[in-house]
Amino acid sequence: MISTILLLLFFIIQGSCSDRDKPYCTVQRGAINVEEKGSVTISCNFTYPEQKDGPVEVRVSWRRGGMDRCGNGEIIYNHTGRWTHTNYQGRISAVGDPNRDRTATITINNLRRSDRPMFCCRVEIYKGSKFKEAWQNRHGTYMQFKDEFSVEQTDVVPAIIGEDITIPCLVHYKDPSRIDEVTWTVGSSDLCSEHNVIFEMWNEGNKSQNKGQWSVVNFPQDLSLRIKDVTSEDNKQYCCKVRMNLRNYSVASPIHGTEVVLVAESRDLTVKVLQPETTSPDIDGSATLNCSFTNQPDIVPLWIDVFWRVDSPRGPYAYHPFIELVDSNYRGRTELRGRADLHIKGVKDTDNSTYYCFVIVKNCIGNNKTISTLQYGSGTKLQVKETDDPGNNTWVYILAAVFAALIILCAVVIILKKKGIICQKRSGREDVNYLTSGIALKDENPSVQLPRATSEGSPMAQEDPGILYAHVNVTSLHPKTSNGNKGSRLDNDSQVLYAAVKPASAPQDIYSTVK
């Protein structure tokens, strides 16, 4: 009898304090992969109803929990009280202003294995020194190291009724052949532990048990869940649990799964997405496609997610926060600028298409109860000026190169001719003797001071151009006699030779035509 009365009082109290009277919410990413000695930023957005009796003070702190929920786990950081747990001193800091930005986001540096696994933010409201309300996220953010066996899912997948969608399940382990079983569950709760099984597949001949339109993409290489012909009933949460055949059977599953959010059939305009009809690439070869949106008036959104699809509203993703869902033609080339603008790097002719901006706005409607609204814009046409295929113009480049080479060659010939190095016209005989050594100098003109020969017999270099007098033995130039011997030497075999002498910077060889 007493228990019945107490239960009745509980329902009366619950009815008088409905969830819609207490819209206090927090939202965090479900899981995040990190590296040892690296850093991580764990986001936490929160919202609360405007206070009629004036502004309040927001106090935030963080707890570390076990494998399931944070619950009453130990406090590791109190931003308002400027207190840090000894294990995190000098490694943890706040991002943003809780009172202004409504965020309790933190960054942890120099990560250690002992830091894991679960982190939850807690928010408290004070009016002066009087406590008014406190709440925290139900599931928190699960931190997992990349070199360990774990399962990763995206938080949200947008969808249009009637299309086929894929919910990714990324397994972090070096050998996918050791995967023994995959199980998919579904439910309305954001906690996977409260779901029902809809699909199972195990490694005995790839046997499976499934209901309706669900299937796995490619067991065991790709455990993502494929849902065909999405209906309004598929607007739920999905979780992937994987069992590995290691030394002992090991199971990994996220705490928080993937929410499928559908575009309302009525195209409800509580969220309106605006896009320009066309845009062109920037000067630097990149392109920025603008996207803006409006929410319900007088409501501060708890969370906003932005996605971009290409070719059609049901086309592949040009951008998605979960990189594995981005089409291979855009992966690594796209990012968000501002709140919702799409930036494409290295624009190509194949990017000449229409892009659709999808916006999910998550609003708080009760005590840690939310509703997600998805809308998309009318599309923006990226007008890329098509260029000719460089392969078709190869012959043009070859001809241009040949023409340029001919011009250079002609210029060199002209320069050499002007310098008298080639093509110099001479009267009489055109025999050229190169005299590099053995020239005996003789002063035929006492008024001209001539340089003495070097020890090797070569003339010393002249600093200034002038006339050099030298005796040259021309016996080698005489014709041979009938018996093969050269003709007798004449008295005038030694003749005077006039040669132009170059500056010292010129080559040593001196040449002249002997007449």
Q: Which residues are within 8 A (CB) of 18 and not within 5 positions of it... i.e. 6 or more apart? A: 366
The class (CATH top level) of 272-382 is: mainly beta
Instruction: Report the distance separating Cα 212 and Cα 24, nearest Å.
Output: 37
In this prediction, residue 331 carries a pLDDT of: 95
**In the predicted structure, residue 206 carries a pLDDT above the cut 60:** no
pLDDT over threshold 50, residue 12: no
Q: Where are the domains of the chain?
A: 16-143, 149-262, 272-382, 432-479+490-513
Backbone angles phi, psi at 167, to 5 degrees: -105, 115
Secondary structure in 3-state letters for 387-421? CCCHHHHHHHHHHHHHHHHHHHHHHHHHHHHHCCC
pLDDT at residue 363 greater than cutoff 70: yes
What single-letter amino acid sits at 345? Answer: K
pLDDT of 239-291, one tens digit each?
Answer: 999 998 877 778 888 888 899 999 976 655 678 999 999 999 988 889 999 99
Helix H, strand E, coil C: the string for 102-149 is: CECCEEECCCCHHHCCEEEEEEEEEECCEEEEEEECCCCEEEEECCCC
Lowest mean pLDDT, pick from 17-31, 266-280, 320-334: 17-31
CATH class of 149-262: mainly beta
Report CA 429 to chain centroid distance, whole Å: 75
Q: Give me the pLDDT at residue 378, please.
A: 95
Output the 3-class SS for 300-324: CCCEEEEEEEECCCCCCEEECCCHH
pLDDT bin (cut points 50, 70, 90) of residue 447 is very low
3-state secondary structure of 236: coil
| Cβ-Cβ contacts under 8 Å for 491 (sequence gap 6 or more) | none
Beta strands in 333-395 (DSSP E): 334-337, 341-344, 354-366, 369-376, 380-382
Lowest mean pLDDT among 251-255, 343-347, 448-452: 448-452
Q: Among candidates 445, 499, 439, 447, which has minimal Cα distance to 471? A: 439
> Residue 401 pLDDT > 60, yes or no?
yes
The pTM of the full predicted model, rounded to 2 decimals, is 0.69
Instruction: Note whether 16-143 and 149-262 share their fold.
Output: yes
Lowest mean pLDDT among 328-332, 463-467, 507-511: 463-467
What is the per-residue pLDDT for 240? 94
Q: Is the pLDDT of residue 453 over 50?
A: no
Q: What ranges in 340-482 are assigned the alpha helix state H? A: 394-418
State the Cα–Cα distance between residues 462 and 460, nearest whole angstrom. 6
Q: Is 13 helix (H, G, I), strand (E, B) or coil?
A: helix
* Tokens matching residue 77: 């950081």
Question: 300 — phi, psi (to 5°)?
Answer: -90, 115
| Cα–Cα distance list, 123 to 46, 59, 67 (Å) | 8, 6, 22
One-character DSSP codes across 217-235: EETTTEEEEEE-S--GGG-
What pLDDT band is residue 425 in, cutting at 50, 70 and 90? low
pLDDT at 441 over 70: no
pLDDT grade, residue 21 (50/70/90)?
A: low
Q: How confident is the model at residue 366 (pLDDT cuts 50, 70, 90)?
A: confident
Per-residue pLDDT tens over the stretch 31-82:
888 999 999 999 999 999 887 777 889 999 999 887 666 767 889 999 888 8
pLDDT for 140: 87
Q: Where are the beta strands (DSSP E) in 165-274?
A: 165-167, 170-172, 179-187, 196-202, 207-210, 214-218, 222-227, 237-245, 249-252, 258-262, 272-274
Candidate ranges 140-154, 228-242, 498-512; pick with highest mean pLDDT: 228-242
Judge residue 208's burial from the number of C-beta atoms within 10 Å of its C-beta, 0-12 exposed, 13-18 middle, 19 or more buried.
middle
Cα–Cα nearest to 281, from 382, 387, 355: 382
**pLDDT tens column, 144-168:** 888 888 899 999 999 999 999 999 9
Span 368-393, average pLDDT? 79
**Residues 141 and 28: beta-carbon distance below 8 Å:** yes
Structure tokens at 408: 């250079």
Distance CA 44, CA 105 (A): 5
Kind of pairing, strands 141-145 and 31-34?
A: parallel
Q: How many CB atoms lie under 10 A from the CB of residue 268?
A: 12
pLDDT at 1: 39
How high is the pLDDT of residue 279? 95
Look up residue 16 and give its two tokens: 């008088």
Tokens representing 130 are 């009087």
Identify the pLDDT of residue 116. Answer: 76
Q: In this predicted model, what pLDDT tens digit does every residue of 472-493 receive, in sequence order?
A: 555 555 555 555 554 544 444 5
The sign of the CA dihedral 501, 502, 508, 514 is negative
Burial class (CB in 10 A: 0-12, 13-18, 19+), 108: buried
Distance of alpha carbon 396 from alpha carbon 127, whole angstroms: 78
Residue 169: CB atoms within 10 A of its CB come to 27
The pLDDT of residue 203: 73
Which CATH superfamily, name and number, covers 16-143? Immunoglobulins (2.60.40.10)
